[in-house]
Amino acid sequence: MKANIAIIENLCKKCGLCIHFCPQKVLVFDSNGYPSVAHPEKCTGCRLCFYRCPDFALEVESELDKKPVSLR
């Protein structure tokens, strides 16, 4: 499954929790100390980075977000 991750730098405090909790090791620190998406092809869209970020500094959109869901 593909997912897009965006780091919102003006909200990010560079704590690294998103990097630490990513099970696929998609994120790394860039040269300025901010998280950066190094391996987007590995992202499964689990959103652990998003849920662990205390500053809401990530946005994750997966393929599942774009598909209609049937309740039947």
- Burial of residue 70 (CB within 10 Å: 0-12, 13-18, 19+) is exposed
pTM greater than 0.85: no
DSSP 34: -
pLDDT tens string for the chain (72 positions)?
678 999 999 999 999 999 999 999 999 999 999 999 999 999 999 999 999 999 999 999 987 666 665 666
Residue 57 tokens read as 């500094």
Q: How far apart are CA 63 and CA 29, in angstroms?
A: 25
Give yes or no for a contact between 49 and 38, defined as CB atoms under 8 angstroms apart.
no
What domains does the chain contain, in order, with CATH numbers? Answer: 3-60 (3.30.70.20)
